[in-house]
Amino acid sequence: AGSGIGGATGRSVAILLLSVLCLAAAVTAEYNVEKFLKDRDAYLHTFIEVPPTDKVDAAIEKFALEPGTTTVRLAPWPDCKHQFVLHHERVVKNDHPIRFNSYCPASAADKAAYAQRLNKRKKGASAAEPPAAAEAVEVPPGHPVPKLDPGPAPAPKDLRIAFTLFVNPNDPIWRIHRVINAIYTKRDFYFVHIDASPQYRNDKEREEDKAPRNAKVQAIHDVMAPFVKNGNMKVEAVFDVSWGGISMMNAELAMAEALLKMGKWDYWINLSSTDYPLKPIDDFRKKLVGDYGKNYGHGFKSDMADEDKNAGMMRTYVECAGHSYRVDDLMPLPKGLDIWGASSWYVLHRNFVEWLDGCMALGFSERKKGQCSVVLDFLDYSQYRVNWEEQYLQTVQKNTEWCNHFLNDDLRFVDWTKDWDGCEHWEEVDGCGSSPQTINFKKWKQGSVMANKFFARKFEDPVVFDKMDRALGINTTASMSPFVAEAEHAARNKKSDEPNLPNVAAGKSAWASTEQWNDGKIYHATNACDENKKTRWSSDHFEPQEIGIRLASDAQPFCDVQEVHIQWETAYAATYDLLVSTNMQDWTVAFSGTEENHPRPRNKAELTHRIPLGDKGKGIQGIKFNCKTRGTSWGFSVWEIKAFGECASVGGGDAATAARDAPAI
């Protein structure tokens, strides 16, 4: 397969050329959504003064929430801190968009029926007076008119689909290859979005990652190259898309604009690199013909009258450099429209996408006019939210003339059953989120027989891809390059990052200084050594705390431990000591975790600390962690503590020798 990521001497030249071309594209091309955001910021700077870099920290300190709730103080880039001040001042000056003009022809009838139902429940109440018919919002000159009649549906074989696919350079290249080969046809259209840049903690990290990242990006371009030659695919980096950030929605608006210019298609579907078809693509075409002109998505209406329930919507978030920062809690709830949403995945008819893009082309200055105000002013509001790609398009449809063209089904199969119950995605947002479970082939088969499900996510095992291909009658490995095939082979034979030794902490007795009680559930210390992915230990919300495990037993009084792994939940310890004892009375520090050797984690992998003990782990009876300072505003929480080694009975081995020589306790 050659050396390096490409196995060819010309790869470095190709990477350099790619970087130049990407830079040129970034300079010359500007999507409507990019111009909208640029004009918005220019407008804000006309009446908000941002302090210079040497004073921005002091300005942030005046409004920043407590550490652990927000990470605004830790933002590594001055530009991000300037944005925090800019958008906080906008909220303070009451310039943010919170009042909207919505129009849905069905809304009056719906409200009348709802009022009638309420009155029937009230004894002796008179019938409700039906409200007047909703007034249509005037379409200003030059604004797009909703084209609600799609015309006759084409035959399934003639229906054309536009696909958008989100990929990250860190996604497995073999999986990207298999996904695109499973959905590609010459008659459809494709926009592959490569996330522009990850979050870095400093310039050194950015510089060190430049060459490996460029190589990964080039590998994605290599996979897509045969399809790009056919003229129906575009591969581009527009935004740094991070979980929860509005960047995903902004990127999709840019991709919609590009797809409209690529050719004539009927429907647009958005996918990720973890999606895979449940049925042949032609079956999907037949489904779309059946409800031609309708839009698909999933959502429910939020009760905006319940301020307690919607307290999270009062948080002002600003996304910058791959992270959504919680700037303040001063954002009022929006008025004048129904908020709908729950899923970021949808299938949209071209007529709606054309109208949407026509509104986007009007720009920031037209954001208060006509039905396009729901598109533009609500997009402005959405920039301060998290997970709003799950709300934006549903809300736009339900508050405009498109409200009767929305079908509440995103046509996807996802497994939302819980595995680990901890906080997820904290590395990308000041808060918590969740993700669906990885699907095996049995689950895929379950989804494949559901009439209205055509795609599923998420998948990670090459063996599952093999089985799905056989069921679909396709082969997505046939065209793999040696480099991609080698990457997949490595994934099939991936070895554990744990030592090939028993976990002598499993099932042993454990103790902790405190055990949190929450919602009738106790987070016991023993949860940290039960090898159960669904349980964890959690302390009360103060420091210091400790958690320990007795490794020895009467039958095996001493252990030799080579390595200890501690897997923190989001509530990690910024500083801690790992101590060992040969008698469960006297304790010696074997390792100290600090912000230098274990800085603030950026992802789940960095929440697992692997600590070699060497000679310090010989002949011990127990281990314990003294958690000194918290990394978050919560307490301390641990999924699992593992101690890899051996516990020998008296009569043999290093541990046994230690047992014989140890003084009586």
**Average pLDDT, stretch 263-271?**
98
Whether the CA torsion 460, 464, 470, 472 is positive or negative: it is negative
In the predicted model, is pLDDT for residue 23 greater than 50?
Answer: no
- Is it the case that residue 659 has pLDDT exceeding 50? no
Residue with tokens 């010989």: 618
Instruction: Give the helix ranges, DSSP H, for 383-474.
Output: 392-398, 441-448, 462-472
Q: Tell me the whole-structure pTM to 2 decimals.
A: 0.80
| Strands, sheet with 573-581, edge to edge from the N-terminal-most edge strand | 510-512, 545-550, 622-630, 573-581, 588-593
**What is the pLDDT, as a whole number, of residue 69?**
86
Cα dist from 143 to 134, 138, 139, 366, 430, whole Å: 21, 10, 6, 9, 38
From-to residues of CATH 3.90.550 in the chain: 137-142+160-489
What is the amino acid identity at position 382? S
421 pLDDT more than 60: no
Q: Which residues pair with 99 in a beta bridge?
A: 335
Find the mean pLDDT for residues 19-34.
59
In this prediction, residue 648 carries a pLDDT of 85
Residue 414 has pLDDT above 70, yes or no: yes
Kindly give the pairing relationship between strand 233-236 and strand 189-194: parallel
Over range 637-663, report the average pLDDT: 70
Q: Is the pLDDT of residue 136 over 70?
A: no
Q: Are 53 and 84 in contact (CB under 8 A)?
A: no
Give the tokens for residue 569: 């939940």
* Tally of CB atoms within 10 A around 554: 6
pLDDT digits (tens, 9 = 90+) for 510-548: 999 999 998 789 999 999 999 998 899 999 999 999 999
Written as one letter, the residue type at 542 is F
264: closest CA among 408, 166, 151, 392? 151
pLDDT for 11 beyond 50: no
CA–CA separation, 145 and 160 (whole Å): 24
Residues of the chain with CATH 2.60.120.260: 510-661
Is the model's pLDDT at 26 over the cut of 50? Answer: no
Residue with tokens 């290599």: 222
Q: What is the pLDDT of residue 504?
A: 97
Tell whether omega for the bond before 458 is within 30 degrees of 0, i.e. cis: yes
Segment among 170-179, 262-271, 425-434 with least mean pLDDT: 425-434
User: Tokens 């575009």 appear where?
Assistant: 234
Amino acid making up residue 23: L
Percentage above 70 pLDDT, the chain: 86
- Taking alpha carbons only, the member of 106, 157, 114 closest to residue 134 is 106
pLDDT of residue 339: 94
Residue with tokens 């071209």: 350
Please report the pLDDT score of residue 619 as a whole number. Answer: 96
Give domain 510-661's CATH superfamily.
Galactose-binding domain-like (2.60.120.260)
Per-residue pLDDT of 346-404, as tens digits, reads 999 999 999 999 999 999 999 999 999 999 999 999 999 999 999 999 999 999 999 99
pLDDT tens digit sequence for 581-622: 999 999 999 999 998 888 878 777 889 999 999 999 999 999
What b-and-e string marks burial along 34-70, b requiring 16 or more CB atoms within 10 Å of the CB?
bebbeebeeebeeebebeeeeebeebbeebbbeeebb
Residue 121 has pLDDT above 70, yes or no: no
Report, as an integer, the average pLDDT of 540-561.
96
* Candidate CATH numbers 2.60.40, 3.90.550, 3.40.50, 3.30.530; the one for domain 137-142+160-489: 3.90.550
Q: What is the pLDDT of residue 127?
A: 46
Going by the DSSP 8-state scheme, the letter that residue 424 receives in this structure is: B
As a whole-number percent, the residues of the chain with pLDDT over 90 amount to 69
* pLDDT given at position 665: 38
**Count of CA atoms in the C-beta half-sphere (13 A) of 145:** 7
Each residue of 149-160: pLDDT tens digit? 999 999 999 999
To the nearest 10 degrees (0 to 180), the angle between helices 462-472 and 482-492 is 110
CA neighbours closer than 13 Å in the CB half-sphere of residue 656 = 7
Which residues contact residue 565 at a Cβ distance below 8 angstroms, ignoring those fewer than 6 apart?
498, 608, 609, 610, 611, 640, 641, 642, 644
pLDDT score recorded for residue 2 = 34
Confidence check: pLDDT of 213 > 60: yes
User: By CB neighbour count within 10 A (0-12 exposed, 13-18 middle, 19+ buried), where does 541 fall?
Assistant: middle
Q: Enter the tokens of residue 255.
A: 């991709």
Rounded to an integer, what is the distance from CA 543 to the centroid of its chain?
Answer: 30
Instruction: Tell me what pLDDT residue 221 has.
Output: 97
Lowest model confidence (mean pLDDT) among 211-215, 564-568, 657-661: 657-661
Does the pLDDT of residue 239 top 90, yes or no? Answer: no
